[in-house]
Structure 1
Amino acid sequence: MIRASAPGSVMITGEHAVVYGSRAIVVAIEQRLTVTLRPRTDQLVRLSSEIAETQMVDLDQLQAVGPYKFVLAAIAMHRDAIDTGMDISISSEIDPTLGLGSSAAVTIAALGAVLTFTGQPLNGIHSKAYQIIQDIQGRGSGADLAASLQGGMLAYRAPPNPEMVALPHPPTISLRYCGYKTPTSVVLQKVAERMIGREAEFDELYAVMGGLADHAISAAKDRDWEAFADALTNYQTRMEDLGVSDETLNQIITSARQAEGVMAAKISGSGLGDCVLAIGAPPDGFTPVTLASEGLIIHD
């Protein structure tokens, strides 16, 4: 039996701009997803979890579709090294209402389990996972993959020139779910449509956003959390300029900023729903999250 686990993740800053080559900050959180792999004596792959119906697939007929698509893609990527079927079960501590990088966590954990099962080294997992996400979703920076793989808080740049640099842990992080989500791919498409005919304007906006993310990274390295918070606050303004902070998100952010002990509040993720992030004392309605020091773990 092989068990591999990976943590969920939260985007701190750099959303959207990271897709266009800028750096971002992402953090792993101590809500873990575990993939357990047991070899079978036949050529079948049986997949089960707490949130989806059990699925049985022939090893030679793998397709990355359905609720287990990321796991199936990880198996298919290494089919040539696999001689027998397997039972794969997935358990998760990641809060499904907060959208905390569960797709990234299951992809990293599945790759860790499959590579261990086939006796292959674990190096290169991020590039493999990034390829899977791109193949399935068509978009994405891979920042959440980096956090699930490495743990901690990272300065991140997406391929083709990937960068993953560990940063000091910040003050308390808390989240509040706004009550609805818009898939990242849909948000990115909406922004791309708004860019048509306004490319120069958006290029300038992304340059400003990239600069603010760089300021936040420098501040984190110096443990200057006031400057870090200021960069996050200014980044939220740019997210509003981008058109991804709606009235509900704006109201949550405004209320959070008025609470005592809050250093910054902003969207976490692509926007048009999902979560608001607060740095400092958790405001009313926000849930504190614990940072995960470790990323992918292959358990004994």
Structure 2
Amino acid sequence: MSAYSKINTRAPGSIMLMGEHAVLFGEPALACALEHWLEVELTPLASQRVEIDSALARYRSDLSQLQPEPALSFVLAVIEAYRPYLKQGFRLQIRSGFSHTVGLGSSAAVTAAVTAALAEFCGTDTTPEALFEVALHAVHQAQNGRGSGTDLAASIYGGVVQYRVSPRTVERLNGLPPLALLYCGYKMKTPEVLALVESRAASQPSLYAGLYRLMGQTCEAGRRAVDSADWSQLGQLMNLYQGLMDALGVNDATLSEMIWRLRAQPGILGSKISGSGLGDCVLALGHMTETLPWESIPVSVAATGVEISHDTC
């Protein structure tokens, strides 16, 4: 039986600061953990049952043969990873403080929080490095090998991180930039945006490779700006990165209007699409002084990543 009567974990949502698209081609990316938290409560059971209660699905299965449930694919992939270490069943209660419909890294947050809960339950390594390895494997299992892991790195490590896929590196930076976020009201699924960009790149591969290199150089300069809390410089770099996103073809009229109206405000130092583009969110550096006709999502950078606490029997 477990030594704990209850294990509680929580992981922050996340957002891309810059590095979209280029991170998939070996370039660095910058991502932020956000003060929007997803919480998991694990209660041991005196049986081999696995029970999951969340807003997405209510799940019941036997640990020896987990039944598929697409709505919980990330959670079940984590459970599969820890199944060799599990001696008994458990109940997971998952509560999110933010909607999965807006791009705040909800899938990464639930993967991080469940990974931390099961690592603690099984008595395995709970260092950020170990949790990241298991969680990224689970993401790839759930998405047929897709997913850079950038949002996952932010959720596990907290603050602002620079992340690179290959060779895999995670560097936690010092600065915590002031941010504002607007949601345009619609989104295109990331795999569909990536497929569209890939089809366009096929006709001009060398030009697109050059764009990705420029994106990587911009991110590297952004890393230095965040580390030294040079927000004026970071704002200029965000605007530059937005120009490169536009060149990729992932901007549209609504996003462009949002970006320029944000930049017109005196408290905003820079703005750009956050995420793959063709919908979802626009991120701004600084403080909004004027209300705009799109949903404003209050955000601030979370200084900490995934957290673990527990009650002892």
Residues 177 and 301 in structure 2, CA contact (< 8 A), matched pair in contact too: no
- 2:304 partner SS: coil
Asked if the contact 1:64–1:70 (Cα under 8 Å) also holds between the matched residues in 2, the reply is no
Q: Report deviation, 1:135.
A: 2.1
Q: Does 1:297 align with 2:286?
A: no
Q: CA–CA distance in 2 between the matches of 1:39 and 1:288?
A: 36
Residues 1-300 of structure 1: pairs in structure 2 closer than 5 A: 1-49=6-54, 51-62=55-66, 65-123=69-127, 124-137=130-143, 138-158=145-165, 160-282=166-288, 283-285=290-292, 286-300=296-310
Q: Closer, same or farther in 2 for the Cα pair 1:171/1:120, shift >3 Å?
A: closer
Offset at residue 169 of structure 1 (A): 2.7
TM-score (norm 2): 0.91
Query: RMSD across aligned C-alpha pairs, in angstroms?
Result: 1.4
TM-score (norm. length: structure 1): 0.95
Match of 1:67, SS? Answer: helix
Counterpart contact for 1:10–1:101, Cα < 8 Å: yes
Distance in 1 (alpha carbons) for counterparts of 2:305 and 2:176: 17
Q: State the Cα deviation string for residues 13-49 of structure 1 (Å, max 9, x = none).
A: 1111111111111010111111111111222111101
Per the TM alignment, residue 63 of structure 1 is displaced from its structure 2 partner at its CA by 5.0
Contact 1:30/1:291 (CA < 8 Å) preserved in 2? Answer: yes
CA distance in 1, matches of 2:26, 2:12: 25
- Pick closer, same or farther for the CA change 1:63–1:247 going to 2, 3 Å: farther
Q: What is the alpha-carbon distance in structure 2 between the residues aligned to residue 77 and residue 31 of structure 1?
A: 26
Runs ≥4 residues deviating over 6 A: none
- 1:81-132 C-alpha deviation (Å, 9 max, x unpaired): 1121111110011243432001000001101111111111113111211111
Aligned residues with identical type, % of pairs: 39
Residue deviations 1:191-216 (CA, integer Å, cap 9, x gap): 11111131111101111111111111
CA positional deviation for 1:172: 1.7
Whole-angstrom CA distance in 1 between matches of 2:281 and 2:43: 36
Instruction: Note closer, same or farther for the CA distance 1:15–1:63 as it changes in structure 2 (3 Å cut).
Output: farther
Given that 2:125 and 2:131 are in contact with CA atoms closer than 8 Å, whether structure 1 keeps it comes out as: no
In the alignment, residue 117 of structure 1 is paired with which amino acid? F
